[in-house]
Amino acid sequence: MFVIQSCTSAFRKHISEPLSIKEIRSISKNNPSFVDMYENIEDIREELFDDLENEIKYGDITYKRFFKYEKKRHKLIKNALEEYQSKYDDNKSFQEKVDSALQYWLDYSDVYKYVRIKLISLYPRIEKRGFYPYNYYLDELDYTFSIEPLDSNLSFVSYYCRISDDDLYDYISCEDSIPMEKKYALYSHEKKFSYYSKKVKEDLNTSRLENLSKVNVSYIIVGDKVIKERAGIPSHVMDYINHSDWGFNRLDFIQKEVDQNYVSPADYIDANVNKNMEKYDKKVYDLFEMYWDY
């Protein structure tokens, strides 16, 4: 009978009043989680109740009220986590979407095992217009390169070329594709660019352009398989491929590739728990918010 009375009496105390070891032991005998909760209350007293205004506003919350709030919050956390797992982690349809999005990028590979591209010649025609410095324009660019199959099953090459640098006021690019004829040891493809009003700097000569120019393969077809260039994979995808066990990488990948409304477990739980706890007990909720923001 004494233990019950002692427990009830301690529960009715305000959280601004420290409990004795005997009182804590009495309450925690039937409520083991009370010890952890009491440590939080001690932190609150130390961090927040040194301000008299905070103690006046929140110090009259009882241990019983605080404990009921915490029990309710932990129950909601458990429910929200189960709901999240059902919606995402254990949802076969959702996981298939994630796996499909990942596989799309995993199909990207090193296409240069199958094809070699080599610059043969590059001839620019640069003219100065007017009397102002840096009024130089690239009127024409003859760009010749070769595409050499390294696999007899290579049947198609899609490529793009791009020249871009601080010495160019605008970038130069092209995009094309070539069906590869089998038995050809070397397939030379000549591409001529005709550009007007492409402003460049005076020192952008042929040698400089050669250093800046590059032809990239977008994808190739080898037999029945389409192989995409891995260099084209976005950084957020590569991060997920390399470290899929990192929570932020998974979050970033799914938001950008599968579902923009996807959130982390922590954010999902916070959103669902906080709105309910604020309605359940606004005063204790506000105290927690102040404590976590401190």
pLDDT digits (tens, 9 = 90+) for 210-219: 666 667 777 7
Is the pLDDT at 73 greater than 90, yes or no? yes
pLDDT average, residue stretch 1-23: 75
Domain ranges for the chain, please list them: 2-87+267-293, 109-232
Q: Label residue 157 by pLDDT band (50, 70, 90).
A: confident
Please give the pLDDT value at position 7. Answer: 58
Across the range 118-124, mean pLDDT stands at 74
Provide the pLDDT confidence category of residue 122 given band limits of 50, 70 and 90: confident
DSSP collapsed to 3 states, 63-125: HHHHHHHHHHHHHHHHHHHHHHHHHHHCCHHHHHHHHHHHHHHHCEECHHHCEEEEEEEEEEE
Q: Give the residue among 189, 190, 182, 186 at the shortest CA–CA distance from 148.
A: 186
pLDDT at 16 over 60: yes
Q: Measuring CA to CA, which residue among 168, 218, 216 is closest to residue 195?
A: 168
Task: Determine the pLDDT at residue 211.
Answer: 67
* pLDDT value for 190: 56
Q: Is the pLDDT of residue 180 over 50?
A: yes
pLDDT the model gives residue 48: 93
| C-alpha torsion sign, points 268, 271, 275, 277 | positive
Residues contacting 167, CB < 8 A, separation 6+: 200, 201, 203, 204, 208, 212
Residues of the chain with pLDDT > 90, as a percent, come to: 41
**Residue 222, C-beta contacts closer than 8 angstroms, at least 6 positions apart:** 114, 151, 153, 154, 155
Of 14-18, 79-83, 235-239, 282-286, give the lowest mean pLDDT range.
235-239
